[in-house]
A and B are shown apart, each in its own frame.
Chain A
C-alpha cells in the first residue's frame, strides 16, 4: 500500500537529511507504528506519502502509484484515498460535529443524501452517536479526536495516517482512541500511526518501525516501543550499509540536547 524505495529527503543542504535512504513497505490492511524521537523523520515520512513534499531522491509508491508521477491536478485524488488525523484535532470550531464530518464530503462534491446517510454511520463507528449537534468546544479531547477520525475516514480512504493522535490525551482516553483506530483497521484500512506513546505501542503489539535521524533502525512485527536489540550498534551497521563513510558534522536540526550528544557519540564511534 505504501512503499518507500531508497527515499531521501533533504530540507537544508547543510544539515543532515530528514530521511536518509529509507526502504520500507507497508502492506494493505496493515497497522504500523512509526516511533522515534522528535526530528527522527516521522512527520517527513507522512508528508511524503501525502505528496505535501517531494522526495529529494528515491521513489514513494502509494497504492501502487509513484507519487512523483502524479500531476498536481491529480494530487487531490491521491489525498482522497488517504485520511489524516493530527495531534491537535483541527476541527472547525463554528461547525457542529455533524457539519465537521460532512465538510469532508461536501468539498469533494458528495450529494446531500449520501452525506445524510454516511455521516451518522461513521459517527457511530467512532462512538459518537447522539452528539451530532454538539460544537467542538462542548466535547472532551477524546471526543474531539473521534470527530477528527470520523472526518478522516468518512470518504472511505484506503490509508489512514495518524500523526501522534493521542499526544494531547490522557492514557485512558488514548486507549479508547486506539480502539477506534483498531476497528477502522479491522475494516480493511491501512493505518500508519506516528507516536511517542510507549504504553499504547506496548499494549497494541503491532508492527513497529523505529526511525532515528532519518534512518530506519528497527522494523519488527508485534513489537514493543523499545527494543531488546542494542539500538546504537544497529544504527551504525545500517549507516555503514548505506555507504556513508563520513560521520555527520552538524548536529541534528530539531534534535534535543540528548540527541545531539548521542550523535556526537555515534560520530566518535564511526571514526574509531
Chain B
C-alpha cells in the first residue's frame, strides 16, 4: 500500500513538472556524455597500448619472411641468431641497462595481435608467419634506449629496434589532454545538473506543499514524505544517464566501428561492447548526483 502510494505520488509529480523533468534529463544527459567521452578516451588509450606498452620500453624485432631491412639479407632469423642475441642481452655490457627481457615468438605475437585488433577486420588477413618474433626489453633507465639501439641494430637477424614509447607518447598525451578537457566540461555541466535538480525538486515540493503539510500533520514518516521527491530526481537522472550510455555506444559502433576503423585499419579501436562497461558508472553517477542534490534541497525546503 505504501509502495503503491509512493509510486502514484512519483507519477503525479513527474507529470506536473514535465518540462522541468525533461530539462533535468537533458542536462544530466549532456554532462554524462562528457564524463563518458573522457572514459572512452582512456579506454582507447589502453586499447592502443596493447599487450607490451606498460611492461617494456624497447622492442628488438627479428627478421621474418617479408623483412627488407639490410640486416635481414639472409632471410628470417635463425635459432642460432636468436641464441646469440639472447646471450648478448645477458652479457654484462648490456645487462647493466636491462631490468629483464622477454622473448615473443611469432605465435605469441599473433595472439597479442589478435587481442589488440579484435575489433578490426585486419585480424582475419594476418597469419603468425607474417608477424616478426621479438625481444621485449624492460629498461632500468628508459633514456638509455640509444645504447640498446646501437648495440643491436647491426646484429645479424635483427630487423629493427624500436622505442615504442616515443611513437605513442605524443598521441597519448594529446588524448589525455582531450579527456581532461572533457572532464572539466563535465564538471561544469554536473554543477549545472545538481542546481537544476535542486530547483526542480524545490518547485515540486512547493507545488505539493498542501499534501506534504497534511502528511506531516497526520504523522507520515520522513521516508514516505521525501522519497517521492528524491525518486523523481533520481528517475530523471537515470534516464539521462541511460541516454548518455546509448549515445556513447552509438559513437563507438557507428563512428569508430564503421568509419574510423576503415580509414585507419592499422589502429586498434575500442569495441561498442567496451563502452557499455561505462554505462553502470554513468548511471551510478546520475543517481548520486540526483540523490545528493535532492537531499540537500529537501533538508531546506521539506522539513519533517
Contacts and interface: CB of A to CB of B under 8 A. Distances in A.
A60 B5 CA distance: 34
B123 interface: no
B304 A76 contact: yes
Interface string B196-224: 00000000000000110111111111101
Interface stretch (A78-86, A167-175, A249-257, A264-272): A78-86
Given A75-B304, A76-B304, A111 B1 contact: yes
A110 B216 CA distance: 16
Given A90-B210, A109-B1, A109-B224, A84 B219 contact: no
A72 interface: yes
Given A75-B304, A107-B5, A80 B210 contact: no
B225 to A, nearest CB: 8
Given A107-B224, A109-B1, A110-B1, A90 B304 contact: no
Contacts of A111: 1
B2 interface: yes
A61 interface: no
A90 B225 CA distance: 17
B213 to A, nearest CB: 7
A73 B222 contact: yes
B214 A106 contact: no
Contacts of A139: none
B1 A78 contact: no
Contacts, number: 62
Contacts of A80: 218-219
Nearest to B5: A106
Nearest to B2: A109
Interface in A156-186: none
Contact of A151 (B2, B218, B219, B225): B218
B276 to A, nearest CB: 39
Contacts of B5: 106-107, 109
B219 A155 contact: yes
Contacts of B220: 76, 107-108
B28 to A, nearest CB: 30
A79 B304 CA distance: 11
Interface residues of A, number: 27
Contacts of A72: 222, 304
A83 B215 CA distance: 12
Interface residues of B, number: 18
A77 interface: yes
B219 A92 contact: no
B219 to A, nearest CB: 3
A27 B210 CA distance: 32
B218 A79 contact: yes
A134 B175 CA distance: 66
Given A92-B211, A109-B1, A110-B1, A79 B222 contact: no
B226 to A, nearest CB: 12
A76 B219 contact: yes
Interface in A65-112: 72-73, 75-84, 90, 92, 103-104, 106-112
B60 to A, nearest CB: 69
Contacts of B219: 76-82, 108, 155
Contact of A104 (B210, B213, B218, B304): B218
A109 B59 CA distance: 70
A92 B220 CA distance: 16
A90 B2 contact: no
Contacts of A103: 211, 214, 218
A253 B124 CA distance: 88
B152 to A, nearest CB: 73
Contacts of B221: 73, 76, 108
Given A72-B304, A110-B1, A84 B215 contact: no
B222 A90 contact: no
Contact of A92 (B214, B225, B304): B214
Interface string B1-23: 11001000000000000000000
B9 to A, nearest CB: 9
A83 B213 CA distance: 13
24 contacts: A72-B222, A75-B304, A76-B216, A78-B219, A80-B218, A81-B219, A90-B213, A92-B210, A92-B211, A92-B214, A103-B211, A103-B214, A104-B218, A107-B5, A107-B214, A107-B220, A107-B224, A108-B218, A108-B221, A109-B5, A151-B214, A151-B218, A152-B218, A155-B219
Given A73-B221, A82-B219, A107-B220, 4 more contacts: A106-B1, A108-B219, A109-B2, A109-B224
User: 7 closest pairs, A vs B, by CB?
Assistant: A80-B219, A79-B219, A107-B220, A109-B2, A104-B218, A76-B219, A107-B215
Interface of B: 1-2, 5, 210-211, 213-222, 224-225, 304
Interface of A: 50, 72-73, 75-84, 90, 92, 103-104, 106-112, 151-152, 155
